[in-house]
Amino acid sequence: MRPSLAKNLYYRLTASLFVLWLGVVASVAWVVQHEADEVFDSNLQETAQRILPLAIHELHLRKMNSDFPTFEPMDHKEYLTYQIFSRDGVMLMRSHVASEMPFPVPLQPGLHRTEDQHFFVDASNDGNYWIKLAEQKSHRKSTLNDTIKLLLLPLGALLPLATLLIHLSVRNVRRSLGKLDRELSTRGSRVLHPINTDALPTELLGLGEAVNLLMARLNAALETERNFAANSAHELRTPIATAMAQLDVLRETVPDQQALARVADARRMLERLEQMTVKLLQLARAESGTAFNVTQVSLSSLTKMLIRDLSFRSNRPVVLNAPEQPVSIQGDVDAIGIVIQNLLENADRYASAETPIEVEVSADGRLSIKNDCEPIPEELLPSLVNRFVRADQSKAGSGVGLSIVQTILTQCGAVLKLRSPCAENGRGFEAGVTFKS
C-alpha cells in the first residue's frame, strides 16, 4: 500500500504536538520544582527563626516557674516538625509528632537534606539553643505532582480538539492536491490541454506549470505525427487514383492474358494501398480527439445506413436485428460511424464464405456484430486492438481497424468486448460495443 502524504502529515503534526506538549510540561515541572524548592527552603528558614525565640521564651518560663502550665496540642497533621536542643545536644523540646530521636543532621546552621526529608538548622544569638526544623519531601513532591496533573489534564481535552483541527487543516490543504489529482486522473489519454493553475498554491504551481509544459510538448509531438499520417495518406490518394485509372485504360488495350493478369494484380495492390490510406486518415482523425465532440447519435439509423453502404461493396448478406424505436447514444456521429464501418468491414473480411453477418442493436445502446469463422485463441483476443495485429494473416487487411475502433471508443467512454467463439458450434467472432445512452 502506497503511503499517504495527508496521513503522514496528519500523524507527524499530531505526534509533534503531543511531544511538544510533554516537553513543555517537563520544562514547567522543572521550573516549578526549582522555584518551589526556593520558596519552601525560605519558608523553612523563616519558620525556624520564628519558632526558636518562642521555644526559648517558654523554656525560660518553665525554669522560673516549675508550675508553668503545659497544654497538650490538638491532634492534627503536621507538615513541619521541630526539635529544640541545648548547646551540648540535649533535646529540650519537640513538636508533638516529632521523633524522640534527634533528627539525623548535625547541629550546623543551614539547610540539610536526607533521602526523605529537608532540614533547616539554626541557633540562638548566644549559641545556647538550637533548632532543627524538618519537612517531608513527600510534601513538596505532592505539590509538584499536583502541578503536573493540572498541566496534563488539559491535554486530555485539548489533544483531541487539536487533532481535529489538524485533520481539518490537512484536509483543507489536501483539496489542492486532490483537485490536481482528479483533473489529471479523470482525463483520457488524448486530453492534453493545459490544467488550470490559478487555484494552485505556490508549492504546487511549479508542478502544475511543469505538467502543462510536458503536455504541450507531447501534444505538439502527437500533432506532428497525426499531421504526417494524414498528409501522407491525403497526398497518396491522388496518385493512387491516377494509377488505378491508368491501369483501367491499360487493361482495355492489352490483349495478352498474362499481361492482363499482371494488370489485375497491380490493381489489387493499389486497391489495398488505397484502403491503407483510408485507414491512416481514419486513424489520424481518431487520434485527433474527434470522439470528444459529444452529441446525441441515432445508433440504429447510423447502423442501417452503413449496412446499406457495405452492400454496395460486398455481396455478403447482413442480418440486422434492431428495435422499432430509435436507439440514441452519446458520441460524435462521424467517430461512431468510423467505429461501425470498421467493425462491419472486419466482419466481412474475415467471415467464412457464403455466411451472413449478424448485427444486433439493443435498446440500452449496445451494438453486436458477429461473423462465422474459425475460433480465435483466447490469449490472442486482447492484442487484436493493437496496431498491425491480425488473427488471420492470409486475409487482406491493414491491421489497424480494431485499433481505430478502440481509440475512438476510449475517447467517448464506450467499452469494446471481443469474444470468440460466439456460437454454439464453437465457431465465430463477436465484437460487442456498449455505448453511453
Percent of the chain with pLDDT over 70: 87
Q: What does the pLDDT read at residue 175?
A: 75
**CATH 2.60.40.10 is right for the domain spanning 291-434:** no
For residue 90, the 8-state DSSP code is: -
Task: Answer whether residue 292 shows pLDDT above 60.
Answer: no
Nearest to 5 by CA among 177, 197, 172: 177
- Helical axes 5-64 vs 137-185, angle rounded to 10°: 170
Pairing of strands 429-434, 415-419: antiparallel
Q: Which residues contact 342 (CB under 8 A, 6 or more apart)?
A: 282, 401, 402, 404, 405
What are the CB-based long-range contacts (under 8 Å, 24+) for 15-22? 17/159, 17/162, 17/163, 17/166, 18/155, 18/159, 21/155, 21/158, 21/159
For the chain, domain boundaries: 5-146, 187-288, 291-434
d(CA 47, CA 55): 12
Q: pLDDT tens, 150-181?
A: 877 777 777 788 788 887 887 777 777 777 77
139-152 burial code (b ≥16 CB/10 A, e <16): ebeeebeebbeebe
User: How high is the pLDDT of residue 367?
Assistant: 94
Whose cell is 506538549? That residue is 21
Helices and strands counted in the chain (H then E): 7, 12
144/241 Cα distance (integer angstroms): 102
436 contacts 414 by C-beta, under 8 angstroms: yes
Asked if residue 371 lies in contact with residue 355, where contact means CB atoms within 8 angstroms, the answer is yes
In this structure, which amino acid lies at residue 55?
A
Parallel/antiparallel/unpaired status of strands 91-94 and 80-86: antiparallel
Q: Which long-range contacts (C-beta less than 8 Å, at least 24 apart) are formed by 384-393?
A: 384/418, 385/416, 385/418, 391/350, 391/429, 392/350
Q: Cell match 445508433: residue? A: 299
3-state SS class at 87: coil
Q: Contact 210/202 with Cβ under 8 angstroms?
A: no
Helix (H, G, I), strand (E, B) or coil at 226: helix
Separation between Cα atoms, residue 143 and residue 29, nearest integer Å: 10
- Peptide bond before residue 356 is cis, with ω within 30 degrees of 0: no
Which pLDDT does position 141 carry in this prediction? 83
Q: In angstroms, rounded to a whole number, what is the distance separating the alpha carbons of residues 316 and 319?
A: 10
Neighbours of 401 (CB within 10 A): 26
What is the helix (H) or strand (E) element at residue 93, kind and residue range? strand 91-94
**Burial per residue of 205-221, b for 16 or more beta-carbon CB atoms within 10 angstroms, e otherwise:** eeebeebbeebeeeeee
Which residue type does 92 have?
Answer: L
**CA 191 from centre of chain:** 22
Q: What are phi and psi of 113, to 5 degrees?
A: -135, 140
pLDDT in tens, 416-431: 999 988 877 889 999 9
Residues sharing a CB contact under 8 Å with residue 196, sequence separation 6 or more, in sequence order:
183
Most confident of 31-45, 191-205, 222-236, 239-253: 31-45
The pLDDT tens digits of the residues spanning 44-64 come to 889 888 988 988 888 888 777
Measured CA to CA, the distance from residue 181 to residue 207 in angstroms comes to 12
The reported pLDDT for the residue numbered 181 is 76
pLDDT at 287 > cutoff 70: no
CB neighbourhood size of 35 (10 A): 10
Nearest to 386, CA basis, from 376, 371, 398? 398
Q: Any idea which architecture 187-288 has in CATH?
A: Orthogonal Bundle (1.10)
SS3 412: coil
The pLDDT value recorded for residue 189 is: 58
Q: What is the pLDDT of residue 284?
A: 66
> 187-288 and 291-434: same fold?
no
Q: Say what the pLDDT of residue 1 is.
A: 62
- And the C-alpha cell for 125? 544569638
